[in-house]
Amino acid sequence: MKDEKINIMRHSMAHITAAAVQRLWPSAKFGVGSVVDNGFYYDIDLGEVKISEANFPKIEKAMQGIIEYGDDFEKLEMPIDEAISWAKANGQPYKEELLNDLKRSGTTVAKDLDMDEIGLATDGESAVKTVTFYKNGNFVDLCRGPHIANTRDAGAFKLLRVAGAYWRGKETNPQMQRLYGVVFATQTELSDYLERLELAKTRDHRVVGPQLGIYMISDAVGQGLPMMMPRGETLKDLLIRYMRQEEEARGYKYVETPVLAHENLYKRSGHADHYSDAMYKLKDDEGQTFYLKPMNCPHHHMIYEKMVESYRDLPFKLAEAGRVYRKELSGTLTGLIRVRGPITQNDSHIYIRPNQLKDEFVKVLELFKTVYQTMGINDYWYRLSLPDFTKDKYEGDKQAWMDASNAIREAMQEFGAEFVEVEGEAAFYGPKIDVQTRNILGKEDSIATSQVDILVPYRMDLNYIDEAGNKVKPIIIHRAILGSFERFIGMLIEKTAGWFPFWLAPEQVRILTINNTLNDYVAEIKSILDGIILMKPLRHNELRYSVDERNESLGKKIREATNLKIPIQLIVGQQDKDVREVSVRTQLGEQKVNIDGLKDYLLSL
């Protein structure tokens, strides 16, 4: 990934940016930089000078000059002590600090920096004697490469934004300015990306969600604790009902488990030891400790223990729209996508015998496909994460790991799923698949996941009795099709710009009248709408509509209904009444429909 040509261009552009900044502000002190999605950043300390977007044209012009001038990237090797002297002599205290770390411990502790690219020169090997520098024009930077050969090959770029960033991510350290840019191989790709970026801004669920009355965040309640507003709750309820309908048709049993659990449960499951940083802990007045559940699994395992005795009870499928809470740092919170809670998971646990894994996994894949088709998600693929036995230390029986990995791969092949296989990315308890898609900016994103668990039955001592009367361990499939409902709604907003599929629209139809002089006719239309029950994809779904009979102009009413992205507006005037018609207004335009055909017309949408 790192060595892909475009990433080498992005990396090299970071050097060019730094070179341009140095040309404009010769006393600039450089931290480190990195390649990120679609581009790069570089952390720079300019003392009193604060860069703003107003400076971008000037910096970009200097960058363009460097690119057109056509300097080669030259590699230089230097003994570590000489490099330290170089940093000192050139007024680069941050590089000096990195080089001193390197000399002392053989690493610049790149882990703390969450990056490892520009400005660093080691692979973390100890006993560093020499370091490498790269030079383009007059600009020299500590780096291990690789780079493009000449600045002329750097591609098309644009600076996007500048943000504060603490040196090495520590609040007590000096604050630097992090300059971000995007880089593409061609101007066309760059323009295309910038266009999509503009589009994405208009679809950002953090803006559109509250505008549509889907959700809100209140400082009084707390950050990362979104509240579903009436329209959002309608949407979420529809999604929950739809999933339940599909799952119950496939033999899943719905349960409900509490949001709190005693610490003993998490001691037994291992979460108290391995996951406590992500769990909210509560103590009651009797000195007992509880946790807000970060996942539903241990609760479900208790129900398994109660309900399953023999192999005849398997497969055993539990499902829950289960609310969980997770401790998150405030800086990471993002609308509905990353929250503290509630995270209402479309969660399920499928308990099986080892020889049922492949067949049950095919059924899971079938459910993924059915649901995504309904949701209009077609651009997805799977990532199959397997252990890497040459490197990883996996707990448990190696043969069980191999069997599980093979069963999933066979299931994927048999089902004809499009997937990529990645070794070394399995969960610690078993292989898994993630459903991947791209967001509007082309960034890869997971929608949901399904994991095979061969360890927890041992850890929690879950058993069943086989034909021979032996006590044996089941395998568990943890599976979420829509991930969390909140997160899915966030994604759906960005995908549809708030124009949800008809069956999911919180308000599907709004009747707009000039005033209240047409009450009889409106009542007749209402009785038609009351008789409409949608059967697909969610059965017994009554039509959701309202009437806007305020004494306002029709233009204003249409505007409001359109802003709320109500898919169907039924506009009724005196003339319509006279000929027993209504004007049906949708995203596609407006047309007259006879009232006798209205029901069929709406059902055909």
* Catalytic hit among 45, 141, 347, 576: 347
Q: Which one, 478 or 487, has the nearer CB to Zn ion?
A: 478
CA dist., res. 600 & res. 604, Å (int): 6
Residue 409 one-letter amino acid: R
* Catalytic hit among 92, 297, 436, 557: 297
CA dist., res. 227 & res. 219, Å (int): 11
Which alpha helices (DSSP H) does 420-579 contain, by range? 456-459, 485-496, 519-530, 554-563, 574-578
In 3D space, the residue among 265, 337, 336 whose CA is nearest the CA of residue 296 turns out to be 265
| Least CB distance to Zn ion at residue 14 (A) | 7
Q: Which one, 481 or 511, has the nearer CB to Zn ion?
A: 481
CA dist., res. 427 & res. 354, Å (int): 18
Q: Which one, 324 or 362, has the nearer CB to Zn ion?
A: 324
Q: Which two tokens stand for residue 385?
A: 């994460």
Q: Which one, 451 or 569, has the nearer CB to Zn ion?
A: 451
Half-sphere exposure of 532 (CA within 13 A, CB side): 22
Which alpha helices (DSSP H) does 332-466 contain, by range? 357-375, 398-415, 456-459
In 3D space, the residue among 144, 139, 165 whose CA is nearest the CA of residue 98 turns out to be 144
Helices 485-496 and 230-248 cross at an angle (nearest 10°) of 110
Sheet holding 509-513, edge to edge: 545-548, 509-513, 568-572, 581-586, 589-594
* Catalytic hit among 345, 436, 451, 508: 345
Helices 230-248 and 357-375 cross at an angle (nearest 10°) of 140
Q: Which two tokens stand for residue 367?
A: 């459910």
| Least CB distance to Zn ion at residue 470 (A) | 26
| Least CB distance to Zn ion at residue 478 (A) | 3
| Least CB distance to Zn ion at residue 2 (A) | 11
432 belongs to the catalytic site: yes
Rounded to 5 degrees, what angle do the CA atoms 535, 499, 379 make? 85
* Catalytic hit among 236, 271, 349, 363: 349
| Least CB distance to Zn ion at residue 324 (A) | 10
347 belongs to the catalytic site: yes
300 belongs to the catalytic site: no
Q: Which one, 315 or 498, has the nearer CB to Zn ion?
A: 315
Q: Which residues pair with 570 in a beta bridge?
A: 511, 584
Q: Which one, 17 or 541, has the nearer CB to Zn ion?
A: 17
Q: Which one, 131 or 518, has the nearer CB to Zn ion?
A: 131
CA dist., res. 215 & res. 227, Å (int): 5
50 belongs to the catalytic site: no
Q: Which two tokens stand for residue 325?
A: 């809470």
| Least CB distance to Zn ion at residue 170 (A) | 24
Task: Name the one residue in this structure whose structure tokens are 């520590």.
Answer: 170
Q: What is the largest CA-CA distance in the chain?
A: 94
CA dist., res. 457 & res. 474, Å (int): 6
Task: Name the one residue in this structure whose structure tokens are 């850890």.
Answer: 459
DSSP 54: G
Q: Which one, 136 or 508, has the nearer CB to Zn ion?
A: 136
* Catalytic hit among 95, 340, 478, 585: 478
345 belongs to the catalytic site: yes
Task: Evaluate the CA torsion angle 532, 535, 537, 541 in order and state its sign.
Answer: positive
Q: Which residues contact Zn ion by CB under 5 A? A: 118, 143, 297, 478
- CB count in 10 Å sphere of residue 137: 20
64 belongs to the catalytic site: no
Q: Which one, 269 or 508, has the nearer CB to Zn ion?
A: 269
61 belongs to the catalytic site: no
* Catalytic hit among 323, 358, 432, 510: 432
Which of the residues are catalytic?
297, 326, 345, 347, 349, 432, 478
